[in-house]
Structure 1
Amino acid sequence: MSDFSQSLAASASGLRAQAARLRHVSENISNADTPGYRRKSVPFETVKSPEGELVATGRVRLDQGALTRIHDPGHPMADDTGHYESSNVDLMIEIADAREAQRSYEANLKMFDQTRQMSAGLMDLLRK
């Protein structure tokens, strides 16, 4: 396998992994006010393949941190004491994770584009 195709495969796997990460971050943000919702995260793993070492997402993990107890006797999910458990999503962490995933996605996209341009340049040189 050529270095160009290995580079394209590595950056494409990074794009897929960051897209999955961003999907979970957006799901966390959209469920920040959902009672009982636990924050999801996705780990990255190195996978060996014929194209070389690629990145892949592992199994989705649920954050086992404590859920916030909120006192609201009028809430339909409130118990006898008037409390219910909210989500454990911290919007500041989710925004930071989204920004990091975006930057990593952009870096992989730039690497993919640079490799494609180098390959096209090589083909132009070989045609002459």
Structure 2
Amino acid sequence: MSLFKIFDVAGSGMAAQSLRLNTVASNLANADSVSGSPDTAYRAKEPLFAAAREQAGRQFAGTADGRNGDGEAAVRTLGVSESQRPVESRYEPGNPMADASGYVYGSNVNPIDELVNMISASRSYQNNVEVMNTTKQLLVKTLDLGK
């Protein structure tokens, strides 16, 4: 793997963690929102990622699946899904959002889970920044060998 491809891998990881941080922020912002029905209540968003290896149109032989390990690795975003956990219902007949039975429906966001997710995403982002910095230093040292 070329040292320049490391920037692509780390960059895709940083983009993925940035999306993860944005969904956490959205979830925390809507954690206390209420709705008049369980169908319209806010549901926590969760990004879906996959490791991707692209072959850039090359033909490989020598392995069972046609790969020899020279493909470019990256993190690919598959999308953002909604949590399937049930929403919380509370009896508040005086609330203007209450349904005919007097219930309001809150979001299914667990703030503790979201804070843990935020710390994890932040550290993963920082790790990718460190990978880029280390690679840059390695490239500079390699260029200094020619002096």
Could you say which TM-score interval applies, normalised by the shorter chain?
A: over 0.9
* 1:81 pairs with one of 75, 82, 101: 101
Partner SS for 2:79: coil
Match of 1:18 in 2: 17
Q: Within 2, Cα distance between the matches of 1:78 and 1:110?
A: 50
Aligned counterpart in structure 2 of residue 94 of structure 1, from 99, 114, 127:
114
Deviation of 1:80 (Å): 2.0
Displacement, 1:10?
A: 0.8
Q: How does 1:43-54 map to 2 (within 5 A)?
A: 43-49=48-54, 50=56, 52-54=72-74
- Residues 52-96 of structure 1 deviation map (CA, whole Å, 9 limit, x = unaligned): 110021111001110000111111121122111110000000000
Q: Which runs of 5+ in 1 are unaligned?
A: none
In 2, the alpha carbon distance for the partners of 1:121 and 1:29 equals: 44
Give the TM-score taking structure 1 as reference length: 0.93
Larger helix fraction of residues: 1
User: Are positions 1:40 and 2:60 aligned together?
Assistant: no
Cα RMSD (Å): 1.3
Cα separation, 2, equivalents of 1:105 and 1:87: 28
Matched with 1:29 is 28
Post-superposition, which runs of at least 4 consecutive aligned residues in structure 1 deviate over 4 A?
none
What is the TM-score with the length of structure 2 in the denominator? Answer: 0.81
Identity of matched residues, %: 32
Aligned residue-pair number:
126
